[in-house]
Amino acid sequence: MIRTTAALAALVTVAFGGSAASAAPTGSASPTASAVGSPAGASSRAALVLTPGFTRRVVATGLGDPYEIVWGPDAQLWVTEKSGLKVTRVNSTTGTKSTAVSIPQAHHSPGGQDGVLGLALHPQLLKGTGNDFVYVSYNYLTTTPAPVTGERRRLRIVRFTYNGQTHQLHSPKTLITGLPGGTDHQSARLRFGPDGKLYYTIGDQGANQLASYCRPNWAQRLPTAAEVSAKNWAAYQGKTLRLNLDGSIPADNPLLKGVRSHVWTYGHRNAQGLTFGSGGLLYQAEQGPKTDDEVNRLSRAGNYGWPNVAGFRDDKAYTYNNWSASRPTPCRDLTYSDLGTPTSVPRQKESQFTAAFVSPLRTFGTVNTGFDFTNPKCAPGGLYFICWPTIAPSSLTHYSANPKPGIPGWANSLLMTTLKDGSVYRMNLSADGKSIVSTTKMWTDRIRYRDIALSPDSRSIYVATDNAGLVRDPNGAPTRTLKNPGSIVVFRWQP
Instruction: Please name every residue paired with 191 in a beta bridge, in sequence order, or none if there are none.
Output: 199
Exactly one of 107, 185, 262, 268 is catalytic; name it.
185
H-run or E-run covering 10:
helix 6-11
CA angle 246-249-252, nearest 5°? 120
CB atoms inside a 10 Å sphere around CB 278: 14
Find, among 454, 461, 427, the residue nearest to 295 by Cα.
Answer: 427
Residues 6+ apart with CB under 8 A from 187: 201, 202, 203, 268, 270, 271, 272
The dihedral formed by the CA atoms of 322, 328, 333 and 337, expressed in degrees to the nearest 10: -40
- Contact predicate 159/87, CB 8 Å: no
Q: What b/e string do you get for 147-158 counting C-beta neighbours within 10 Å, with b at 16 or more?
A: eebebebbbbbb
Q: How far apart are CA 34 and CA 147, in angstroms?
A: 48
Query: First and final CA of the chain: distance in angstroms?
Result: 62
Residues 6+ apart with CB under 8 A from 199: 190, 191, 192, 193, 240, 241, 242, 243, 264, 274, 282
Handedness of CA 428, 429, 430, 431 (dihedral sign): negative
Residue 35 backbone dihedrals phi, psi, to 5 degrees: -75, 145
- Give catalytic status of residue 262 as yes or no: no
Residues 6+ apart with CB under 8 A from 316: 291, 366, 367, 368, 369
CB atoms inside a 10 Å sphere around CB 54: 19
The dihedral formed by the CA atoms of 267, 232, 282 and 410, expressed in degrees to the nearest 10: -90
Q: Environment class of residue 130 by beta-carbon count within 10 Å: exposed (0-12), middle (13-18) or buried (19+)?
A: exposed
Residues serving a catalytic function are 185
